[in-house]
Amino acid sequence: MTKNQKLLATAGVILFCALGNATFAQKKKKGTPPAATPAAATPPAPKKEGIKAYADVITAKAKSKTGLFKTHKVDDKWFFEIPDSILSREMLVVTRLAKVPSGVKVGNQQYGGEQLNEQVWQWERRGKQVFIRVPSYAVRADKNSDMYESVKNSNLSSILASFDIKAYNKDTTGVVIDVTDFYNGDIMAIGATDALRKAYKTTVYDASRSYLDTIKTFPINIEVVTAKTYKSVESPIDNSIGAITFEFNTSMLLLPKNPVKARLMDARVGYFGQGQTDYGTDAQKAERTAYIHRWNLVPKDTAAYLRGELVEPVKPIVIYIDPATPKKWVPYLIKGINDWQAGFEAAGFKNAIIGKEAPTPQQDPEFSVDDSRYSVIRYFASDIANAYGPHVSDPRTGQILETHIGWYHNVMNLLRNWFFVQTAAINPEARKAKFSDHQMGELIRFVSSHEIGHTLGLPHNFGSSYAYPVDSLRSKTFTDKNATAPSIMDYARFNYVAQPGDGVVRMFPGIGAYDKWAIKWGYSWFPGGLTPQQEKAKLDVWTTERAGNPLYFYGRQGNPYDPRDQSEDLGDNAMKASTYGIANLKRILPNVEKWTFEKGKDFGNLSEIYSEIIGQFNRYMGHVAFNIGGLSENYKTYDQEGAVYNYVSKAKQKEAVAFFNKQLFTTPLWLINNEQLNKFDNGTMMNKIKAVQTGTVNNIISSSRLLRMLDNEVKNGTAAAYTLPELFSDLRGTIFAAGRPDAFKRNLQRGFVDRLGSLMVDAPAPQLPPGFSFTPVNISLTDIRPLVRVELKNLLATVKARGVAGDTITKAHYEDLAIRINDILNPKK
């Protein structure tokens, strides 16, 4: 079967359809085999009906609507009437889940409103047919460039579907096509994704249990709702059904005829964007360029704008709240949207972003949260503790066109837990199993602002919180003015640094100095028809002026070696901040049962918060580990002085190891509160502490970290660099300290030896997701393995000496370690 042809076998009769790239189910009469087609035979070509008169296709029974295309429904058939003026125009097509069965578990593809696919379509007429082409924007060249024709010849748009022209419209300025089978067919671009199909082991598409529900046309968009059923081996609801049904909404949005001007990306200011190979530049190579994602804001009064007055944009950003949202949270979500007014004022705009309640059916019967003309915060009835802020952008320029923010109901549980473990030591409002509506509302507002930042084009800035000295976070005056970080786009959650008696009351960030700067950089309007390159020259001046000021530092997410670019951390010294954080955890833990008490409830809250405390403790360990073998990254251009990469100082790396020796490798027995553990723990506490200790050891002695330490030594010498022998010696001094090791220390020692042993075995380089970087290592060709071998021999001498005395378990432990080390040093062939 070809892409334009699917076979239907019904009681020995073969039917053919030649409607674009659709898949149809095979149906047969029960007990009757389908008619066979000889292997070498070619199926007969489908009959062409020819082009009919308009009135013969769009009959008097037609229910017609006028919009981007005229749409007609005749009986159970749907037709598009496409005017010639729209042919070849680019249209952004977004398919989302509209309704789903319960129990679907595919990340970001399990609730109504979540996006599945995004494409650009061009409707093209050739002879008696209309095609849908899908252009690519991976390569480009300006139309005036000498390379334009060459790029066009090497970038042919694929054909998604074809349609026979059924009729010409009355004045022959357009064509009529039947789109029923196209939208009701099995096309991945407007149906279930490959991830959904694999998760539920779908076999074939079942057209008999699928249908095209509605098509609505508007001035610049068309919305199509379909229900599609797939035969499935694993249904999320009931395997006896043998199928899974989804409802999809496919939006087709007309892109601007004249694309807006793009803004070139700059790695020193954080923006989402899109890259392409640009052959139209004057560079003597195939140059990679990238445009930022941003909304198109143009001042209504350009003269006033240029005088420095705040001016409203021609078209503000409006974001609606899903009608399914609990009413008491709506005002806080709207406040989170409107908080960004302060950011846009930095770019010269007022009333640039507006949060609104969705209109009621009485106020606007045509309004739909699935309509691509509207941006919406979608509220999901979900037990997932999450929220996310995507956006849909024009792939030609990066212009953001709309957003459907995903808001999961259970994000409130995450907020409750983290706010509790990070602030309850100083904040009576957090010492509750259930927060007041006002307190939870303010936390919702905080998360809403963060997710709105993503929809404006801003990625996470994990380097922002490093701008503030740790002790400043203990100052009421400082935090009242500056909050906990210069950017709400950091994961600088809640103030775990402030101590009882400090008087601090501001616990989390708002729209800060970095956010205002980023919006100024991305959204400021320039007059005079400047090219993107000319605008970039002006923006470079602004960026260079702020270089070196930590308030405006952008630290990219996914940086595995810069200790400034971390999730969930606070302040400019992880060792000091984590020490304060642990002091607060020690205050909170003995009170968890009292502060989570709910009459008639079991100990679920106690268990959950206790686990969160261990998780927060482990988070501090991760923050500190980044300093060992750490490398700062400061993007610069040729006209800026100084290094891009600098190693963390030797003193700071040694400070990090000293922190571990005190807080972790000396067993943190304060985590064991038997009075509370005996209410819920069934023998897992030792494993939880062991997991933190051995996980941290594995993190510290990772091959990439060790290689950076060797590189530092080569570049800067042993006086400046923290060397591997020094690291091993500093760790050994506490992990193998003299005296009888307790059960936790024995676990830790075994974990330390096992980690060293793993470095003696060749292993493939780790595979990380796109966007993440790491230091590649071939251990067998580095000094890591010889130095590890020396360390293992030192340990072997130590454990042999200690194994001759002591109690039974101590002697058995050291004997076991000696055997383990011997096996590592002398592996069996």
45 DSSP assignment = P
Taken in order 743, 745, 747, 753, is the CA torsion positive or negative? negative
| Residue type present at position 734 | T
Residue 726: CB partners within 8 Å, gap ≥ 6? 654
411: phi then psi, degrees, rounded to nearest 5 = -60, -25
Please indicate whether residue 507 or residue 238 has the higher confidence score (pLDDT).
507
- Distance between terminal CA atoms of the chain? 55
pLDDT confidence tier of residue 7, bands split at 50, 70 and 90 = very low
pLDDT for the residue numbered 764 = 58
pLDDT tens sequence across 106-152: 777 777 788 888 899 999 999 999 999 998 876 554 555 544 455 45
Q: Is the pLDDT of residue 28 over 50?
A: no
SS3 661: helix
- Top-confidence residue, 38 or 632: 632
Grouping H, G, I as helix, E, B as strand and the rest as coil, residue 94 is strand
Determine the pLDDT at residue 775: 66
pLDDT per position as a tens digit, 691-711: 999 999 999 999 999 999 999
DSSP per position, 492-520 = --S--S--TTS-----S--S-HHHHHHHH
* Residue 370: predicted pLDDT: 81
The mean pLDDT value of the chain amounts to 88
Predicted confidence at residue 156, as pLDDT, reads 67
With cut-offs at 50, 70 and 90, classify the pLDDT of residue 382: confident
Q: Please tell me the predicted confidence (pLDDT) of residue 26.
A: 34
Supply the DSSP symbol for 607: H
Question: pLDDT, tens digit, for every residue of 458-482?
Answer: 999 999 999 999 999 999 999 999 9
Please report, rounded to a whole number, the percentage of residues in the chain having pLDDT higher than 90: 72
- Do 616 and 588 form a contact (C-beta atoms < 8 A)? no
Distances (CA, A) of 10 to 29, 30, 40, 533, 789: 6, 10, 22, 62, 72
> What's the rounded Cα separation, in Å, for the pair 513 and 351?
19
pTM of the model: 0.86
Residue-wise pLDDT for 613-669, tens only, equals: 999 999 999 999 999 999 999 999 988 999 999 999 999 999 999 999 999 999 999
* Contact between 348 and 308 (Cβ < 8 Å): yes
> For tokens 């220390």, what's the residue?
745
Per-residue confidence (pLDDT) for residue 287, from 0 to 100: 57
- Mean pLDDT score, 765-771: 51
Name residue 134's beta-bridge partners: 158
For the ranges 42-56, 546-560, 619-633, 716-730, the lowest mean pLDDT is seen at 42-56
Determine the pLDDT at residue 85.
92
Residue 42 has pLDDT above 50, yes or no: no
Predicted local confidence at residue 278, as pLDDT? 56
Look at 100 and 820; give whichever has higher pLDDT: 820
- Range with the lowest mean pLDDT among 610-614, 712-716, 765-769? 765-769
Domains of the chain by residue range:
54-254
pLDDT in the model for residue 43: 45
The H or E element that residue 438 is part of is helix 437-455
Indicate the pLDDT class of residue 390, thresholds 50, 70 and 90. confident
At CA 610, angle to CA 608 and CA 613, rounded to 5? 110
**What is the reported pLDDT for 144?**
57
The predicted pLDDT at position 765 comes to: 54
Per the CB < 8 A criterion, the answer to whether 69 and 57 are in contact is no
CA atoms within 13 A on the CB side of 355: 21
Label residue 778 by pLDDT band (50, 70, 90).
Answer: confident
Which tens digits make up the pLDDT trace of 539-558? 999 999 999 999 999 999 98
Q: For residue 806, is pLDDT > 70?
A: yes
Look at 158-172, 267-281, 457-471 and tell me which has the smallest mean pLDDT: 267-281
How far, in Å, CA of 800 to CA of 731, rounded? 19
Please give the pLDDT value at position 106. Answer: 79
Whether the pLDDT of residue 771 is over 50: the answer is no
Least confident of 191-195, 411-415, 504-508: 191-195
- Reading phi first (left if > 0) and then psi (alpha if -120 to 50, else beta), residue 248 is in beta
Q: Are strands 77-83 and 115-126 parallel, antiparallel or unpaired?
A: unpaired
The predicted-structure confidence for 332-357, as pLDDT tens digits, reads as follows 999 999 999 999 999 999 999 999 99
pLDDT value at 3 more than 60 = no
Higher pLDDT, 97 or 445: 445
In angstroms, the CA 432 to CA 601 distance is 14
Q: At how many degrees (to 10) do helices 808-825 and 743-758 cross?
A: 0
Residue 145: exposure state from Cβ atoms within 10 A (0-12, 13-18, ≥19) = middle
Rounded to an integer, the average pLDDT of 73-92 is: 94
Taking Cα atoms as reference points, which of 798, 802, 702 lies closest to residue 756? 702
pLDDT at residue 50, rounded to an integer? 82
pLDDT of 262 over the 80 cut: yes
Question: Quick one: DSSP state of residue 629?
Answer: T
